Structure 1
Amino acid sequence: MTKRKVAVALSGGVDSAAAALLLTRAAYEVIGIHMRLRDSPSFDDHAHRAADICRILGIPYHQLDLQKEFESCVVDYFCREYRHGRTPNPCVACNHYVKFGLLLDKALSLGADYLATGHYAKVEHSRHGHRLLKAADTRRDQSYFLYTLTQEKLGRVLFPLGEHNKDEVKQMAMQAGLPTATKSSQDICFISRKNYGAFLSQRFPTLPGEVVDTRGRKLGQHRGIAFYTVGQRHGLGLASGKPLYVIRIEPESNRIVLGHEEELYSRKLTAHNLNWISGKIPRESITARAKIRYKSKETEATLSFRNDSVDVHFAQPQKAVTPGQAIVFYNVDEVLGGGIIDSVERET
């Protein structure tokens, strides 16, 4: 019987290394693919570790240069969103356009039946379709970042770590003698959180503007809307007896609006760029659990669909709902779909 062939996306870290290890043990024909995304010493190190993983496991190693595509689809998008006063989610963009777009296409062109990654999530295959599920280790679950997957792509995807926790993954990698990343991963691979300002300043000119309260009264001046995000409290450069937060960003007037914590809450938002994993967007309103950012708790919401957008009404007010971020919908452990937050209706 011919073995099924799977290409593993190898970052050089422990998770993708363990995914490759598990697949070799499961009697797949395994090949490793490393994406070259940036030209830097740290990315050189990632490539060397990915090659070492393939050598130790005795599997072929391929490197795919996607620097131009990554710059266009992820980095440029990241900068463009901040420039327009929105808070981007580059990991969602990378998964959609790069990993499960260009990389998946490359894997299939190499004769692979599947592309596997080190994501903590599960996919359930059946003749009735494919379901995207949360990982067994809910603390590490990354299904939020995968909501753009379609039925066609899910049919070609494997997530070997879905049933494992991080400690198990580290242990199996160490026992196999695999090189693993020693530093903790960051959510944005091409920039550290400390360097956002400098990075964005190099990409486009920033224009100072007014800082006002929710009544429109001027409080001071900001250094450019790209340096702020909804819910931000620190780094505002203003003294106040009661803490102030960024309530909203108005790119059309180049203003930052500040208010008190209670003014951050909202019960309704509109999201666009929807993807519904089943391929069939509901025609009638439904109730689901919604997640407005990766680390937030799910909350009950009613979803009302219209054309290519959805109105989301929360059962309980949500704090710092942020345009540009992804909202993902769940039914218990199943990912139903998601979209990008476009506008927010604050509590009055």
Structure 2
Amino acid sequence: MRVVAAMSGGVDSAVAAARMVDAGHEVVGVHLALSQSAATLRESARGCCTIEDAGDARRVADKVGIPFYVWDMAQRFKEDVVEDFVAEYTAGRTPNPCLRCNERIKFAALLDKALALGFDAVATGHYAQIVDGPGGRELHRAVDPAKDQSYVLGVLDADQLAHSFFPLGDTTKPQIRQEAAERGFSVAKKPDSHDICFIADGDTKGWLTRRLGEQPGDIVDTEGEVVGQHQGAFAYTVGQRRGLGLKVPRADGAKRYVVDVQPRTNTVVVGTQDLLGIDILAADHARWCGPVPVGELRVGAQLRAHGEEFAAVAVAEDDRVSVRLDRRARGVAPGQSVVLYDGTRVVGSATITSTERSRTAQG
């Protein structure tokens, strides 16, 4: 097969590209330029897409002996990921930009361009497995639970899976670093990027404030009493406890958490931890990694990357999904993604629009 290996400049994508060459494929390395003003040097382990990263990817491609190109997708990334991220926070939701990037950039823009140029598939360094099942290719969890990235790949549909390779899914991260060292890759000990790649310092609140400006408003308790002030409701998310700066403590001294963000009134609502427990989810923008489920389906529901899996029942209708958890989950915010599993197989994903708390659930 003719395969595009997406090379970020990190150790995972380096080994993935090398393994595709070893498997006998005709491989071309591609680094995606996603920043319109890429930094010269990586400032920490958080960022990515720096000039340094592109250079690291090129050196690996040279060592493996494959052609290497940089594809400029900065404008597409800005529109489909960064602006979506800002819009979601402005609307009081908490998005996951990694899922949007996988859906709209790596497995839409990149894959579409690769197929248009005559390639057969795209390979990435994600930790997940593709298994040939009775109904076609299936997406499964990686063998390394600490690195499993099937959650952020839950947006892929069956056609995209048919043109995807994840060569690292059967390997642990320490093994990948050892393999990279044995291959002589300079990135063998390079730190992983993490959190949000376009917020290199990890300060989401500061980044959003610089983008949107300060928007002062009230922090209120569940009775409507003003207990503090904020500089922008967009900077808060359900379940948040730190950085609230409340002026009026509860009489019983109980800690308070964000339980609601109301963008129309620019209000943040805080309450006690017990109010965070929910067990009913409504979600839209459903994406299925195979056939659309019919009727009720017993699933495992994962609500955040590397979060625990909750036993649940899901019902799909058009592009919407309703999910009832067997026990309550805490701190679930609209905008997060729920990814559904059947064992290790990813069934699909959807974006949470609302949550509820039944009277009967435990937790």
The residue matched to 1:186 in structure 2 has which SS?
Answer: coil
Q: Which residue of 1 aligns with 2:334?
A: 323
Distance 1:139 1:168, change over 3 A: same
Deviations 1:182-206 (A, max 9, x none): 2232121111354222321222234
Contact 1:206 1:226 survives alignment (8 Å): no
Paired letter, 1:219: V
Residue 126 (structure 1) shift: 5.4
Q: Which residue of 1 aligns with 2:13?
A: 16
Any residues of structure 2 matched to 1:196-235 within 5 Å, and which?
A: 196-235=204-243
The residue matched to 1:293 in structure 2 has which SS?
Answer: coil
Contact 2:196 2:202 survives alignment (8 Å): no
Deviations 1:87-129 (A, max 9, x none): 1100000000000011112222333211100000011235731
Q: Which residue of 1 aligns with 2:61?
A: 54
- Over aligned residue pairs, what C-alpha RMSD do you find? 1.5
Deviations 1:175-232 (A, max 9, x none): 1111216223212111135422232122223422121111222212221111111111
Relative to its length, the structure with more helix (as a share) is 1
- Structure 1 stretches of 4+ with a deviation exceeding 4 A read none
Q: Name the CA distance, whole Å, in 2 between partners of 1:115 and 1:305.
A: 29
Higher deviation after alignment, 27-36 or 215-224: 215-224
Alignment match of 1:44 (pick from 44, 51, 68): 51
Q: Which residue of 2 aligns with 1:140?
A: 147
Residue 54 (structure 1) shift: 0.7
Q: Name the CA distance, whole Å, in 1 between partners of 2:318 and 2:264.
A: 26
Paired letter, 2:319: D
Q: Name the CA distance, whole Å, in 1 between partners of 2:255 and 2:193.
A: 32
The residue matched to 1:105 in structure 2 has which SS?
Answer: helix
Alignment match of 1:92 (pick from 79, 87, 99): 99
Alignment match of 1:6 (pick from 3, 6, 22): 3
So what's the TM-score if we normalise by structure 2? 0.91
Q: Name the CA distance, whole Å, in 1 between partners of 2:27 and 2:318.
A: 42
Contact 1:265 1:347 survives alignment (8 Å): no
Alignment match of 2:29 (pick from 27, 32, 43): 32
Q: Name the CA distance, whole Å, in 2 between partners of 1:279 and 1:338.
A: 13
Higher deviation after alignment, 141-150 or 126-135: 126-135
Q: Which residue of 1 aligns with 2:135?
A: 128
Deviations 1:277-308 (A, max 9, x none): 113232x1221110111122001111133343
Paired letter, 2:87: R
Identity, in percent, stands at 38
The residue matched to 2:168 in structure 1 has which SS?
Answer: helix
Q: Name the CA distance, whole Å, in 2 between partners of 1:249 and 1:151.
A: 35
Is the counterpart of residue 118 in structure 1 residue 128 in structure 2? no
Paired letter, 2:22: R
Q: Name the CA distance, whole Å, in 2 between partners of 1:153 and 1:269.
A: 27
Distance 1:127 1:242, change over 3 A: closer
Deviations 1:239-281 (A, max 9, x none): 5321110011111222111001111101111111001211323
Is the counterpart of residue 165 in structure 1 residue 176 in structure 2? no
Q: Name the CA distance, whole Å, in 1 between partners of 2:306 and 2:162.
A: 28
Q: Name the CA distance, whole Å, in 2 between partners of 1:107 and 1:171.
A: 30
Q: Name the CA distance, whole Å, in 1 between partners of 2:225 and 2:254.
A: 16
Is the counterpart of residue 308 in structure 1 residue 319 in structure 2? yes
Contact 2:209 2:232 survives alignment (8 Å): no
Q: Name the CA distance, whole Å, in 1 between partners of 2:228 and 2:357.
A: 23
Deviations 1:39-64 (A, max 9, x none): 22241111111111111111000110
Deviations 1:48-89 (A, max 9, x none): 111111111110001100010010011111111111111110
Contact 2:10 2:192 survives alignment (8 Å): no
Q: Which residue of 1 aligns with 2:264?
A: 252
Distance 1:132 1:139, change over 3 A: same
Paired letter, 1:229: T
Q: Name the CA distance, whole Å, in 2 between partners of 1:275 and 1:113.
A: 22
Paired letter, 1:32: G
* Structure 2 portions without partners, runs of 5+: 43-49
Paired letter, 1:46: D
Contact 2:129 2:141 survives alignment (8 Å): yes
Q: Name the CA distance, whole Å, in 2 between partners of 1:151 and 1:276.
A: 7
Aligned length: 344
The residue matched to 2:203 in structure 1 has which SS?
Answer: helix
Is the counterpart of residue 186 in structure 1 residue 189 in structure 2? no
So what's the TM-score if we normalise by structure 1? 0.95
Paired letter, 1:172: E
